Amino acid sequence: MVQDADNCSGDDDRYQSSTMSLLVLLLGYCCYFLMSFRWNQNEVSGSWSSARWN
């Protein structure tokens, strides 16, 4: 990704860790979105999820 990563390895480590946390956050958000989408689908078909989450 970064061409001159060898010049500042400390900054590169901090950059990588922040990128990892950002990716984990994005992944969690995607999972949350998929789960909520599934729950909405279940609510449409009249499942038990609506009674559980209200």
**What predicted TM-score, i.e. pTM, was given to this entire model?**
0.46
Query: What pLDDT, on a 0 to 100 scale, did the predictor assign at position 46?
Result: 58
Q: Domain locations in the chain?
A: 9-53
pLDDT at 4 over 70: no
Percent of the chain having pLDDT more than 90? 31
Cβ-contact 2, 15 below 8 angstroms: yes
Distance from C-alpha of 14 to C-alpha of 53, rounded to nearest angstrom: 39
pLDDT at 2 over 70: no
Q: Higher model confidence: residue 38 or residue 45?
A: 38
Question: What average pLDDT is seen over the chain?
Answer: 74
Per-residue b or e along 27-48, where b marks 16 or more CB atoms closer than 10 Å to that residue's CB? eeeeeeeeeeeeeeeeeeeeee
